[in-house]
Amino acid sequence: MTERLAMYIDTSKCMACRGCQVACKQWNDRQGYVPGVRETHNVGTYENPLKLDPQTWTRIKFIEYDDGERFQWLFMKEGCMHCTNAACADVCPTGALKYGPYGIITFERELCNGCGYCSQFCPFHIPQLEVINRLTGEAKSSKCVFCQDRTTNGLKPACVKTCPAGALDWGDRDEMIAKAEARVEVLKNERGFPKANVYGKTQLGGLGRIYVLTAPPEVYGLPADPKYPAISTLWQKIVQPVGQAVFGATILGLVAAFFVARRNVHMEEVE
């Protein structure tokens, strides 16, 4: 089996410094504050930006959660999950998104034609389409690639390297799972988080992000059981092959019909 690497994300240790967001933008050359273009407005939350966008591949989500017993302020690092069964890579007609080494869903921007299927089929709504011109359809997809240029050369992703709280780690996926499970036991038994759990171990064939959560996944906006889009399977495994078979059969049928008709039709009788 080829080695599968994963990102370990311990939300209980995250202090929302957002150093990961900054490091991501720096390494991947994403825009931050651009006067007149990308500005920050206070809308009553520390969360910033308010959602992923083509320039923001990862961000810390702020969640205020009251479970009835106590109030928690939760921080969760959001970004591409690098699924084992990745709908985005399956629907991509260009091969810009593909299953790369170490289980990373890599992205080659110059191959992307901007169709945006990835953004519409991802169960986590992660890929962001940078629409350059709505009318002509010119666009580019954009998402976290686990710093493919770093990680395929033995380095850690920029966000992991910068995290000062020890909330992030990078390494062999099985080791990351073991680390997460051990951490969950500590949180449950010693730190008073009875609902602590590991997320990402089994979802969609196993995610490339292994989360340690202190509340149920839904609280973070993570689907407990994300579904691979059924329409993607129907589309690519049935409709496309059947369509090509229909076209082939029609052509063959017409060629055959032509030769039969040519033998049988007497042109002197044709009106």
Partner 1 sequence: MSVRLKGTDSAIMIRWIPKYTTVERFLHWVHTASFIPLALTGFVLFAPWLEPLAQGAAGVTIRLIHRIAAVFFGGVPIIYAILQPRRMVLNLKEFLTFSQYDLLWLKGAFPYYVLGRHEEMPPQPRFNTGERLTAIVLVLGTLIFGLTGLPMWFLKGVMPVWLFQLAVIIHDLMFIITFAMFMVHFYLAVVHPMMWQSLVSMRYGVVSESYARAHHAMWYYGEKRAKEMWEQHRREAGH
We find the least distance from the C-beta atom of residue 44 to partner 1, in angstroms, to be: 25
* 269 contacts partner 1 (rule: CB under 8 A): yes
33 C-beta neighbours (distance < 10 Å), count? 8
* 267 contacts partner 1 (rule: CB under 8 A): yes
Binding-site member from 34, 42, 266, 268 for partner 1 (CB under 8 A): 266
Q: Which two tokens stand for residue 110?
A: 């110059």
Nearest CA among 173, 162, 77, 93 for reference residue 126:
77
C-alpha to C-alpha distance for 17 and 47, rounded to whole angstroms:
11
We find the least distance from the C-beta atom of residue 115 to partner 1, in angstroms, to be: 7
C-alpha to C-alpha distance for 269 and 271, rounded to whole angstroms:
6
* 239 contacts partner 1 (rule: CB under 8 A): yes
**Backbone Cα Rg of the chain:** 24
* 119 contacts partner 1 (rule: CB under 8 A): yes
Count of residues interacting with partner 1 (CB under 8 A): 51
CB distance 175 to 169 below 8 Å: no
Q: 97-101, long-range: CB within 8 Å, 24+ apart, which pairs?
A: 97/127, 97/141, 100/148, 100/152, 101/2, 101/152
Alpha-helix runs per DSSP H in 85-141:
87-91, 117-121
- Segment contacting partner 1 (CB under 8 A): 18-26, 117-125, 150-158, 207-215? 117-125
Can you tell me whether residue 154 is helix, strand or coil?
coil
Binding-site member from 32, 164, 205, 243 for partner 1 (CB under 8 A): 243
Nearest CA among 191, 217, 213, 182 for reference residue 203:
217
Of 47 and 53, the one with the shorter C-beta distance to partner 1 is 53
Nearest CA among 60, 52, 9, 254 for reference residue 144:
52
Non-local (6+) Cβ contacts of 176 within 8 A are: 6, 7, 8, 169, 170, 210
Which positions from 66 to 95 touch partner 1 by CB under 8 A, shown as an x/- string?
Answer: ---------------------------xxx
- Segment contacting partner 1 (CB under 8 A): 25-33, 131-139, 152-160, 174-182? 131-139
- Segment contacting partner 1 (CB under 8 A): 33-41, 150-158, 214-222, 262-270? 262-270
- Segment contacting partner 1 (CB under 8 A): 64-72, 145-153, 205-213, 250-258? 250-258
Residues 206-235 that bind partner 1 (CB under 8 A): 229, 231-232, 234-235
Binding-site member from 32, 137, 192, 221 for partner 1 (CB under 8 A): 137
* 182 contacts partner 1 (rule: CB under 8 A): no
Which parts of this chain interact with partner 1 (CB under 8 A)?
93-96, 110-117, 119-121, 125, 129, 131, 134-138, 229, 231-232, 234-236, 239-240, 242-244, 246-247, 250-251, 254, 257-258, 260-262, 264-267, 269-271
